[in-house]
Amino acid sequence: MTMTEPATPSPAGAGPRGGLGGWMPVVANATVAGVTQVFWLTYSPIATGSAEHFGVSASAITWLANVYPLLYVLLAIPIGRLLDASPRSTLIAGALLTGLGGLVRAGSDTYGAALAGQVIISIAQPVLLNGLIVVARANLPVEQRPAGIAAGSVGFFVGVLVGYTMPVLLVDGSDITDLVVAQGIIGAVAALWMAFAVRKTTAHDLGDDVGAGALRRVLKDRGVRVLALLAFGGFGVFGTLLQVMQPALKPWHVSTDHADLLVDGMVLAGLIVAAFAPTWAAKTGKQRQLLLAALTVASIATALCAVNPPLAILAVLLAIVGALLVPALPILLEIAERRMPELSGTISAVIWLGGNFGVFLLAGIGSLLYGSPAILFLFLAIAGGATVAYGRATLTDTLATD
């Protein structure tokens, strides 16, 4: 039997009040979610220097990042169910594990400590990502939840941007000790803040939908499956571009520094648009239209990258891709939350799992196409376009009750 925290009933029409007290846990959770991404990307941008520093192979450094998606796939659904049944204790555990993992990495300058810390943080990551809509629902009134979910997603992508640039800017050669120690201190402080901020988060009344029943109910909903497929295409394409940009563009003689700038521009453009577009779409009732239009145009822009345009044009095209795909994620999460608000942890896990599986599969196939950038971009455009085509044909009907 699954243990649950007691639900706190509310009078009819009552709900979270928002305000500073409501927004603090949302921002704290978004911050620690971003920290998990900073930790994820600590070693990848400086893989050669990290391998020399620890005296290991480049493939061993790759595992310091690969452990994240691997454990996410294994843990996403169980942790989603825990968030529905016992949100407060699960969120606090996720925050403290994130801080602990950062300190483990900083406590010993060895590859073993780095790997152990990454594993601990990887266990916590599904709590922070799945918790974005759980915390927003528990602490914000209905009209503020789209903004809360968008803020959580922005925090996640800020972490990606910081994680991608911080090692390159701060690490001199193979000396990464100071970087890891600084990140450990930041992570510990953020984790303690979140643990304090979410201490009043209460469970929902789940009735009989605790455990396997919750997952069955979520997966039976065709609309949820469509949303997960769109996450597979949208987040899958974006995450793949983040991972493969440097090696994929080598045949076009794009330097590592320029490839890094392309990634930074893509993420930054997405953050700017994600700061306002999801909230606007929710207020105007244009979520489905904006979502499908964004995914469609992003697929077209990705296809245009295949013609090997001048670097400035390539930067613009990738910025368009980021500006459209980053805000698509909070829109997907907010639509999902409105379908089954009482199962927000489980439904969030399904959406994130679709996106992460998209990254895993598309990046894996994309790694086989490094010698042919044009084919790689066309492959990603087709993958994203196919999910949009299916979504366009089914989304309106399946989500007609939204």
User: Model confidence over 138-191: pLDDT tens digits?
Assistant: 888 888 988 899 999 899 999 999 988 888 787 765 578 999 999 999 999 999
Query: Quick one: average pLDDT of 320-343?
Result: 88
Indicate if 269 and 187 belong to the same structural domain: no
For residue 192, the enclosing domain spans: 21-197
Assigned domain for 191 exists = yes
Same domain, yes or no: 382 and 236: yes
Domain CATH number, residue 159 = 1.20.1250.20
The pLDDT value given to residue 288: 84
3-state secondary structure of 172: strand
Q: What is the pTM of this model?
A: 0.82
Number of domains in the chain: 2
In a domain, 347, yes or no: yes
In this structure, the answer to whether residues 109 and 142 fall within a common structural domain is yes
Please return the burial class of 247, using the count of CB atoms within 10 Å of its CB with bins 0-12, 13-18 and 19+.
middle
Can you give the pLDDT at residue 344?
81
Query: Residue 205 domain-assigned?
Result: no
Sole residue written with tokens 């971003």? 34
Report yes or no on 2 lying in a domain.
Answer: no
Distance, in Å, from the CA atom of 153 to the CA atom of 133, rounded to the nearest integer, reads 10
Classify residue 207: in a domain, yes or no. no
Distance separating alpha carbons of residues 258 and 265, to the nearest angstrom: 10
Per residue in 283-327, pLDDT tens?
Answer: 888 888 888 899 999 999 999 999 999 999 999 999 999 999 999
If asked whether residues 131 and 268 sit together in one domain, one would say no
Task: For 78-94, give the secondary structure using H, E and C.
Answer: HHHHHHHHCHHHHHHHH
Answer with the one of 170, 197, 224 that is the final residue of a domain.
Answer: 197
For residue 233, pLDDT over 80 is answered with yes
Q: Is residue 115 part of a domain?
A: yes
Read off the pLDDT of each residue in 100-110 and give the average, rounded to a whole number.
Answer: 95
Nearest to 344 by CA among 143, 131, 169, 166: 131
- The pLDDT score that the predictor gives to residue 24 is 93
What pLDDT digit, counting tens, does each position of 32-42 carry? 999 999 999 89
Output the average pLDDT for the chain. 86
| 155 and 70 co-located in one domain | yes
